[in-house]
Chain A
Amino acid sequence: MNVVLAKTDTGRAVSTSFALARERLPGSGKVAEQRRQAFEAFEGAGLPHRRIEDWKYTDLRALMREVLPLAAAPDAAALSRAEAALKLHTIEGTRRPVLVDGVFAPKLSDLGKGEKGLSVRTLREVLEAGDGPLQGELLASDNSNPMIALNTAMATDGVVIEIANGTVLEQPLHVVHVASVGAPAAMFTRSLLRLGRDVSATLVESFVATEGAKAYQTYDSLIVSLGDNARLDHLRLIEDGLEAFNIASAAVTLGAHAQLNTFGMVSGAGVSRYQPTIVFAGEGARVDTNGVNLIKGRQHADTTMFMDHAVPHCASREVFRAVIDDRAHSVFQGRIVVRPDAQKTDAKMMTRALLLSDEAEADNKPELEIFADDVTCGHGATTGALDESLLFYLRARGLPEKEAQALLIQAFVGEAIESIANDSLREHVIAAAQRWLEARG
Chain B
Amino acid sequence: MALLEVKDLQVRVEDREILHGLSLTVNPGEVHAIMGPNGSGKSTLSHVIAGKPGYEVTGGQILFRGEDLLEMAPDERAAKGVFLAFQYPVEIPGVATMNFLRTALNAQRKARGESEYSTPDFLKKVREVSKSLSIPQDMLKRGVNVGFSGGEKKRNEILQMALFEPSLCILDEMDSGLDIDALRIAADGVNALRSSERAMVVITHYQRLLNYIVPDYVHVMAKGSVVKTGGKELALQLEESGYAQFEDA
Question: Which of A's residues lie within 8 Å of B, judged by CB?
Answer: 387-390, 392-401, 403-404, 407-408, 410-412, 414-415
Contact = CB atoms under 8 A, between A and B. Distances in A.
What 3 pairs across the A-B complex have the smallest Cβ distances? A411-B94, A398-B108, A398-B78
A399 B94 contact: no
Contact of B95 (A389, A392, A395, A410): A410
Nearest to B145: A393
Contacts of B86: 393, 396
A395 B90 contact: no
A401 B51 CA distance: 13
A408 B95 contact: yes
B94 A397 contact: no
A396 B95 contact: no
A399 B92 contact: no
B112 to A, nearest CB: 10
B92 A393 contact: yes
Given A388-B53, A389-B90, A410-B95, A396 B84 contact: yes
Interface stretch (B25-33, B63-71, B99-107): B99-107
B48 to A, nearest CB: 12
B92 A411 contact: yes
Interface residues of B, number: 28
Contacts of B2: none
Interface in B26-78: 50-53, 73-75, 77-78
Nearest to A406: B103
B103 A395 contact: no
Contacts of B230: none
B95 A407 contact: yes
A396 B78 CA distance: 6
B123 interface: no
B45 to A, nearest CB: 15
Given A397-B78, A398-B79, A398-B111, A403 B90 contact: no
Interface string B101-126: 00111011001000000000000000
Nearest to A407: B95
Contacts of B95: 407-408, 410-411
A414 B144 CA distance: 14
Given A388-B53, A403-B103, A407-B103, A395 B92 contact: no
A399 B73 contact: no
Interface of B: 50-53, 73-75, 77-79, 84, 86, 89-90, 92-95, 100, 103-105, 107-108, 111, 143, 160, 164
Nearest to A415: B94
A231 to B, nearest CB: 27
A397 B90 contact: no
Given A403-B103, A407-B95, A411-B95, A395 B73 contact: yes
A183 to B, nearest CB: 44
8 contacts: A390-B90, A394-B92, A397-B160, A398-B75, A398-B111, A399-B75, A410-B94, A412-B94
A398 B93 contact: no
Contact of B75 (A395, A407, A414): A395
B188 to A, nearest CB: 23
Contacts of A395: 51, 73-75, 78
A321 to B, nearest CB: 11
B107 A403 contact: yes
A410 B50 CA distance: 25
B92 A392 contact: no
Contact of A396 (B50, B94, B100, B105): B50
Contacts of A401: 73, 75
A29 to B, nearest CB: 55
Among A392, A396, A407, A410, the most chain B Cβ lie within 10 Å of the Cβ of: A396
Contacts of B53: 388, 392
B52 A392 contact: yes
Contacts of B75: 395-401, 404
Given A399-B103, A400-B107, 10 more contacts: A393-B86, A393-B89, A393-B92, A394-B104, A395-B73, A397-B104, A398-B105, A401-B75, A403-B103, A412-B94
Among B73, B74, B78, B105, the most chain A Cβ lie within 10 Å of the Cβ of: B74
Contacts of A396: 50-52, 74-75, 77-78, 84, 86
A86 to B, nearest CB: 31
B69 to A, nearest CB: 13
Contacts of A398: 75, 78-79, 104-105, 107-108, 111, 164
B104 A399 contact: yes
A66 B57 CA distance: 56
Among A388, A389, A399, the most chain B Cβ lie within 10 Å of the Cβ of: A399
A87 B89 CA distance: 43
Contacts of B143: 411
A57 B107 CA distance: 41
Nearest to B163: A397
B137 to A, nearest CB: 21
A135 B73 CA distance: 64
B107 to A, nearest CB: 5
A408 B99 CA distance: 12
Among A389, A397, A403, A404, the most chain B Cβ lie within 10 Å of the Cβ of: A397
Nearest to B92: A390
Contacts of B103: 399, 403, 407
Nearest to B47: A392
A386 to B, nearest CB: 11
Nearest to B91: A390
Contacts of B164: 397-398
A169 B42 CA distance: 63
Contacts of A408: 92, 95
A399 B143 CA distance: 17
B92 A400 contact: no
Contacts of A410: 94-95
Contacts of A411: 92-95, 143
A93 B243 CA distance: 70
Contact of B90 (A393, A404, A412, A415): A393
A120 B91 CA distance: 49
A392 B74 contact: yes
A395 B86 CA distance: 13
A408 B100 CA distance: 11
Contacts of A397: 75, 78, 100, 104, 107-108, 160, 164
